[in-house]
Structure 1
Amino acid sequence: MEITIRQESTSEHRAVEELVREAFWNVYQPGCNEHHYLHLLRQSPAFRPELTFVCEADGQLAGQIACSASWIELAGGGRLDTVTFGPLAVLPQYQKQGLARALVCHALRAAQAAGQQAAVILGDPRHYGRYGFWCGEKWGISLESGQYLPGLQAVELSPGALTHAAGRFYEGFAYDPDPAELDTFDGSFPVKEKAITDFQREFQVMCSLGHEVIPHGFMQ
């Protein structure tokens, strides 16, 4: 199989949204919203089109990765600009063949070449450790709320970039869809049946494992 990775073109936005929907359908929830997220992300100032790529397998559109701007509000003052990727999607028939890894590595190297110091993502920690990501707690990086999550992960694109990066992570694009808007958007795609799976339940448990660390809490 010949794999080609290139920058996404505006003319294939809909085709890529269809790909994302197919890849995520019934994976993390009944149905999915990742295609809607991508649709709205492209309209946000945080969108990084120069770091957004598609993957072709033998000339057929098979996968994609979208990048956006984000930052860490440093506990010591100031901020560290970061890059975030997602969604990352590969069509089911092309999964477990190295396409996702090729896309992630390509995007991270492109971000590194563009001068980005670090990447921070929200994703399944059982997957992203293979790319060098660590849970943000390693560096004292939490969500805006101060909560640490297993799925909040970071990787240095420049050695030492996160050494003094303790602080709160902010996504440049905050996705908070209106259910009616999501249903209307999804209704423009072919009808697919929603289903509840054991993996969805397992994933929800993992997402609920966040905690907050209070410095010197035992002395208060």
Structure 2
Amino acid sequence: MLIRRETPADIDAIRTVTNLAFKNGPEALLIDQLREDEGWIPELSLVENEVLGHVVCTRGYIGDVPALGLGPISVHPEHQRAGVGSALMHAVLGAAEARGERAVILLGSPDYYSRFGFRMAAEFGITPPVAEWEPYFQARFFGSVVGGPFRYAEPFNRL
């Protein structure tokens, strides 16, 4: 399975797969808004070669320390449970580590994301922007990080 950086030609396909995966929720619009934000990191917006899936990490902060916010991640419903999501996760985490990033934060199922080395962010004193997210708020570290409140790129505040 080939994972690569998104190109401008992929944007419509990314919208389609994201809308299908999230049942036309706000995630596709969020990705469009993230592309226009200063927190956008082009080399961390990855697709499965045929755009059967997409993942993105954008600049976030733990207190004043740079970190990454992972998400949304989407896989076309007809291709879920076929390894696309796992391949995207491994690729984006490898790319983040290669860039020298210290931490990746996400909101998602602890049962699923623990296989990628994520642990509950509260264990490290990292708090989510919304208190109710805490049972699903997770962190993966590549370097030393201190605790504190996490903030996503600004477009997440519009959700």
Q: Higher helix share goes to which structure?
A: 2
1:61 aligns with 2:38: no
1:125 aligns with 2:115: no
Distance in 2, matches of 1:145 and 1:99, equals: 29
Distance in 2, matches of 1:145 and 1:22, equals: 26
- 1:6 Cα shift? 0.6
Q: 1:23 to 1:148 in 2, by over 3 A?
A: closer
What percent of counterpart residues are identical? 28
1:173 to 150, 154, 157: 154
2:73 to 84, 88, 112: 88
- 1:147 Cα shift? 6.9
1:107 aligns with 2:92: yes
Q: What is the aligned-residue RMSD (CA, Å)?
A: 1.8
Report the equivalent of 1:5.
3
- 1:157 Cα shift? 1.5
2:28 to 21, 25, 35: 35
The answer to whether the 8 A contact 1:146-1:168 is kept is no
Unmatched tracts of structure 2, length 5 or more: none
- 1:51 aligns to what SS in structure 2? strand
Q: 1:80 to 1:22 in 2, by over 3 A?
A: same
- 1:11 Cα shift? 2.1
- 1:125 Cα shift? 2.0
Report the equivalent of 1:71.
61
- 1:52 aligns to what SS in structure 2? strand
Q: 1:54 to 1:145 in 2, by over 3 A?
A: closer
1:19 to 17, 20, 25: 17
Aligned residues: 159
Q: Higher strand share goes to which structure?
A: 2
The answer to whether the 8 A contact 1:120-1:153 is kept is yes
Distance in 1, matches of 2:16 and 2:96, equals: 26
Distance in 1, matches of 2:133 and 2:44, equals: 27
- 1:124 Cα shift? 2.2
In the alignment, residue 74 of structure 2 is paired with which amino acid? A
Q: 1:32 to 1:84 in 2, by over 3 A?
A: same
Q: 1:100 to 1:146 in 2, by over 3 A?
A: closer
1:44 to 12, 37, 43: 37
1:167-200 deviation digits (Å, cap 9, x = unpaired): 111112343448xxxxxxxxxxxxxxxxxxxxxx
The answer to whether the 8 A contact 2:45-2:56 is kept is yes
Unmatched tracts of structure 1, length 5 or more: 26-30, 74-78, 179-220
Distance in 2, matches of 1:167 and 1:99, equals: 33
Distance in 2, matches of 1:61 and 1:166, equals: 36
Report the equivalent of 1:215.
none
